Amino acid sequence: MSKKVTMFFKKAHGIYVPGDIAGFDADQARQLGSAAEKYDPKKHSKTKPTAEAFDAEMAARTSELDAREAALAEREAALETSADDQTKTGKPTTKKPTTQKAKETGAPPERGNN
């Protein structure tokens, strides 16, 4: 049986939230990456992150979301202008459906027991 490594979570990962302390096998502990680091009782307190740390993380996430929304608005505006340009030039925005008739099917197969 392998020895457990105690890890302190800096970021949310699976069911763990920042400030959680959990034990893992050495291989599993390496796979956690930057979400957790080896627990040091002197460095890590058993309390959850402070309100300031939470506010800083939320501000970072909010600014990232605002940037994504701005990029989406730019793409939507570009699509609207291209649609307006196509309407003004008279070019169809979609292809017209073809008016070919479907091939006639033959009669259904006859039963052999008649």
Its domain, for residue 22, covers 1-47
Q: Are residues 37 and 60 in the same domain?
A: no
Closest of 62, 44, 42, 66 to residue 54, by C-alpha: 62
Q: Same domain, yes or no, for 54 and 43?
A: no
pLDDT in tens, the chain (114 residues): 578 999 999 888 889 988 889 999 989 988 988 889 998 888 876 566 677 888 888 899 999 999 999 999 999 998 888 877 777 666 655 555 555 555 567 777 777 775
Residue 32 lies in a domain: yes
In a domain? residue 98: no
CA distance linking residue 39 with residue 43, whole number of Å: 8
Split into its structural domains, the chain has a count of 2
CA distance 19 to 8: 6
